[in-house]
Amino acid sequence: MDTLNEITDYANLLKLPYLKENLLKLLDNAKANDQTYQDFLITILKHEITLRDSKLQERRLKNACFPVIKTLEEFDLNFQKSMSKREFNELSELTWIDRIYNLIFLGPPGVGKTHLAIALGYKAVKEGYRVTFTTMDALMHTLKTAEISKKSKGMLNRILSSSLVIIDELGYLPITREEANLFFGLISTLHEQASLIITSNKGMENWTELLGDPALTTAVLDRLTYHCQVITMNGKSYRLEHRQSLFDQNA
Ligand code: ADP
Ligand code: MG
């Protein structure tokens, strides 16, 4: 029993939680299956790696701050005809993240811009990329308060260390001159360092009005579109087409 305690203590010190929690089970299993010394060690190490990977993924998912989880499997391409199956598959492969390409999804409300952005981000998290989701509105708050708020500073640091940053809903709310400058600063910092997905209900020709200054808008677009795929999504609103009302059910 002393030896078992000693092993548990060492497992604890070495941060091997699987071994610590499952020592007796591992030993019983080894005996029952006549495991060799090598197999016994490999079993333990494999379990530790699996556990570590799933904990890291859990942390990445939490840090990504997705408002909801949406998946690529749930995305109905028959409904969103602006994109071909081939284009959809190419996006799904995520090679554009390694090549530091940006994606810009444009279109009216309800066409699936946020769904697609989250679904790609979620797949990226599962494949080991660091991802941060934010709305333009929340991003402005983060940038303006990063110096005075620990929470905002943490968020900004997460954004700056992400491989993929999703900025949802550019253009829904007006922004000030100061905010436009902060936005430009961030885009410049992330340029050629991380991929961005930006969604907007405004065409890029209207972004000057949005950012308030033609020179600044040109500078932002210059960086954003350097390596970039713009996807214009149109058609009907999925929400309106699939609207369910409470009293319709028995009609
Ligand atoms: P947008 O961001 O363009 O306003 P959303 O992505 O929020 O639209 O989509 C609105 C709702 O419709 C969400 O619940 C989303 O999951 C669903 N939706 C939109 N397009 C599709 C699609 N092509 N396949 C499946 N669900 C969709
Ligand atoms: Mg949206």
pLDDT (tens digit per residue) in 85-110: 999 999 999 999 999 999 999 999 99
In the predicted structure, residue 200 carries a pLDDT above the cut 90: yes
Q: Which of 115, 169, 236 to mutate for ligand 1's pocket (most ligand atoms within 8 Å of CB)?
A: 115
C-alpha of residue 94 to centroid of ligand 2, in Å: 21
Task: Quote the tokens at residue 249.
Answer: 């059910």
In the predicted structure, residue 164 carries a pLDDT above the cut 60: yes
Confidence tier at 1 by pLDDT (50, 70, 90): low
Nearest to 242 by CA among 153, 116, 111: 111
* Sheet with strand 195-200: strands edge to edge: 131-135, 164-170, 195-200, 102-106, 228-232
User: Of the ligands numbered here, which is closest to the C-alpha atom of 71?
Assistant: 1
Instruction: Show contacts of 14-19: CB within 8 Å, 24+ apart.
Output: 16/44, 16/48, 17/48, 17/51, 18/44, 18/47, 18/48, 18/51, 19/44, 19/47, 19/48
Q: Determine the pLDDT at residue 98.
A: 97
What is the position in ligand 1's atom list of the atom closest to the CA of 76?
24
Residues with CB under 6 A from ligand 1: 70, 74-76, 79-80, 107, 109-115, 238-239
C-alpha of residue 169 to centroid of ligand 2, in Å: 6
Residue nearest atom 18 of ligand 1, based on CA coordinates: 112
Q: Determine the pLDDT at residue 30.
A: 97
- pTM recorded for the entire structure: 0.91
Give the pLDDT mean for 39-44.
97
C-alpha of residue 117 to centroid of ligand 1, in Å: 10
C-alpha of residue 117 to centroid of ligand 2, in Å: 9
Mean pLDDT (the chain, rounded):
94
What is the position in ligand 1's atom list of the atom closest to the CA of 109?
4
Give the pLDDT mean for 117-132.
98
User: Of the ligands numbered here, which is closest to the C-alpha atom of 106?
Assistant: 1
